[in-house]
Structure 1
């Protein structure tokens, strides 16, 4: 399809895209609610079938439904990846109804990332031959993809490129790099004693944790973009008892695999400071970084194609949040993220999508998919995590 006719096609399709987005947003799908996610999967499956002409494979793992469309008879070469779960609880539509006004769509989950799903379906539907495309829509990304991780990695391993339909960065930027994530728990074991009568007989877990919080925080490296953040901390049982046990969680974000390995080694070599105290460290790397090297080739194609199509030149952005794009890049698949909607307010009351950007973004996605099918990029090397995978509890983005 020629550039002008493709843009005209997507412009004409905009009312249908908005109607499809309304259908998805009106089906609330909080990630922790298995029944809601299952109902959402039904709606996404029907919508995808209507646009693509074939029904998806339904993959249910631990009660969570994921959808996969493998199109045509050719081996999968390009993976379009998204999720249909959201952070919004049932009833959010009552406070934040779906509306389109003044060129903006509002509604829970519209930006993150139901508009991206609509774009994926319409982009693939515009291809004269989608053979070799796989569309994978998961149902647990907002809680760290605990059941879909293996599915994503397996699917990406067989493809030459992954296009992730997460929402754009600020001002519509494509996400060319994402930090890797590691999660740890540090537990201090001391000895209980009466805080008023004989505190000297105790070993204070809270004091030990204070030493460790400072030591862990010092592992950050601002120059390399490494953040090491102690987060939730609990210790002790009653106000008049020397705490016997305490623990805190640690969130680590890194730009490269070497930093992820360095922090992991340091976490597991922490030593107690208080006499008689004992430390236990658990966890480790959860998602490898999506480094610039994983996205560079596809991003360059996106820039070239946008120029040919008369679209605004894409810009790239490195972001601290993680997505399933970290997983596809981690298995060595060239990955470009943030190809979804332009807007803002993800997870917030002002979540929104800019209507005027939908057609052009979908045109770029169509052209990029076509180009990658015709000339797949070489695969990179898989990223070896430094330790055991620890599922994220909560949104990694």
Structure 2
């Protein structure tokens, strides 16, 4: 937009000079051609930052530069066209057209000399045209600088926005990592408390119950026997409550994600592992044990018998069920070579190797675990060993 207003100003200043140098139809024709040339250059030359002469982004830029050179050369044909040079000079400076700049100076000096020699035009008009050329040069250079600063401002704003998004993502990851560390620490502390209660208070209560049983066998007279029986019932109740609390604390301290990640670590030495775990923090204790047990058995099978390259472990939490998929496979192309490799891999897959080496006892254990929580399991040969488990949420 700055170029448009710059050109209007230069045209207005040039027309003032034209009125003193030209008259009649020639004046009107020159003004029309000057405006047309300026409009064409406004279309052909983009607002980019031209760093070097004749190194432009598009064919339109080259056309604009050549048009300026041709227009300057045409000005040599008539000394009165000196007044058009400021209009052309603006685009020459804007596009870093060094050849055009040199030609503009040569044409101006040549035309000024001819006009002065003939005495047709006053020297003040010649100097006025030179002043317009300086103004045109300044406006073009200043507009280029403003455009360059605007582009840098936009780039800086975009970079800042991108960095802010990256920083927000990093902060979100840090928050998640912090929450996971806090959660792990809480689980570890609950496990420690449960162990302390079990090892200390539980043993003391067990000893007290045994001692009370001995006293009951010795003191059978009433009312002492009845009172001792009441104390034993109280101790039994306390023992049951502590046992229940310890079990609850221990169940809460079971971190399914940490358990599966720990079991999957050895796989990284031989396989490319894709681990996707969507964990329900309120998962039932028995389901936790089933999922961990299935993962342990399946990972053990893969470590022992797999000759494939990839292992996927995915636990998905749906509103009504949990889905666990453990799959080892060999990533191959679909060409003839890939099909042949797939056939060879199917002959050596984990499922057939595992069944032949263990009589299917481990697979039966997986089925029993899943069926104990009313789940469904499919163990199949899908370019390798694949366990697909579905457990309903009750």
Question: Highest Rg: 1 or 2?
Answer: 2
Structure that is richer in helix per residue:
2
Could you state the TM-score of these two structures normalised by the residue count of structure 1?
Answer: 0.20
Could you state the TM-score of these two structures normalised by the residue count of structure 2?
Answer: 0.20
Q: Which has the higher contact order (CA 8 A, sep 6+)?
A: 1
Structure that is richer in strand per residue:
1
